[in-house]
Amino acid sequence: SQTIHQWPATLVQPVGSPLSLECTVEGTSNPNLYWYRQAAGRGLQLLFYSVGIGQISSEVPQNLSASRPQDRQFILSSKKLLLSDSGFYLCAWSVPSGSYNEQFFGPGTRLTVL
């Protein structure tokens, strides 16, 4: 069966510090991978998605970046965090050939920037 992991679960970082969040998927090959941010009252905002190693599409201009160094690994990074980067970050995967793009979510990372 497929499993998706995210870490850390919670993170408190000062403004201006770097960020690295990691997501890994087990039990599937060549998944589509996604990073979302969820802020209170604003639903899920798609940040990045990837259809393969090294292939990243950015949805929202910001000071975040994503990388996919391995087939089942997706990393969200920032060189300098802003207060507005606080939120709940979710990684998700989907089957590339899925007809309705069902996405499976990880447990999330709650980031607080102070």
Partner 1 sequence: QKEVEQDPGPLSVPEGAIVSLNCTYSNSAFQYFMWYRQYSRKGPELLMYTYSSGNKEDGRFTAQVDKSSKYISLFIRDSQPSDSATYLCAMYGGATNKLIFGTGTLLAVQP
Using CB under 8 A, list all residues that contact partner 1: 41-44, 46, 49, 59, 88, 90, 92, 99-108, 110
50 close to 94: Cβ distance less than 8 angstroms: no
Instruction: In angstroms, give the least distance from the CB of 97 to partner 1.
Output: 12
d(C-alpha 67, C-alpha 36), whole Å: 14
Under 8 Å between Cβ of 94 and 104:
yes
Instruction: Return the SS3 of 33.
Output: strand
Residue 49 or 75: which CB sits closer to partner 1? 49
Minimum separation from the CB atom of position 71 to partner 1 (A): 19
* Cβ proximity to partner 1, 16 vs 96, nearer residue: 96
Nearer Cβ to partner 1 (28/110): 110
Count H helices and E strands in the chain, helices first: 0, 11
